Amino acid sequence: MTPIKSIIESLNHWIIELPSKIFALSEFDLSDRTQPNKWSKKEILGHLSDSALNNLHRFVSAQYEIQPYTVIKYAQNQWVELMDYQNLPIDHILNLWLSLNKQIAEVISKIPEDKLKNLCEIGEEQTVTLEWMIKDYIDHLEHHLKQIFR
């Protein structure tokens, strides 16, 4: 299995599994901030939605922009705060996450093999391939899902 097919398989696994796992948690468990400067589980899922939104743009743009494509960073704490995930219903956040990740799975499944080698500058004088960014996306996703379900 190619690395991209494996990533799509992992993403599709979470698209299927995440709803029942999220709905098994209580509202208190989803909203509780275990420490003052830490995100709640709702906010972590919201952050994963923000990550999906930003990465979807990157995965599309890196295929046609002049190389190396320059990745634009986003202020993740401000996004979580301004999106106000803490005060949104969990089904709203979950539906956003699901829609974005279904689209990401579609987009990456159609990236031509040669485009996966496109170069992307991610800051700090670091250049990676589009394929690396896609793998990093799923690693980041699974890291945060472990935080939610620990």
The CA angle 129-103-39, to the nearest 5 degrees, is: 80
pLDDT in tens, the chain (150 residues): 789 999 999 999 999 999 999 999 999 999 999 998 999 999 999 999 999 999 999 999 999 999 999 999 999 999 999 999 999 999 999 999 999 999 999 999 999 999 999 999 999 999 999 999 999 999 999 999 999 998
Instruction: Work out how many domains the chain is built from and give that number.
Output: 1
Residue 49, Cα to own-chain centre: how many angstroms? Answer: 6
CATH number of the domain that 114 lies in? 1.20.120.450
Domain that residue 92 falls in: 3-24+44-149
Structural tokens at position 59 = 């995965």
User: Which whole-number Å values give the CA distances from 148 to 10, 43, 74, 107, 113, in the listed order?
Assistant: 17, 10, 22, 26, 34
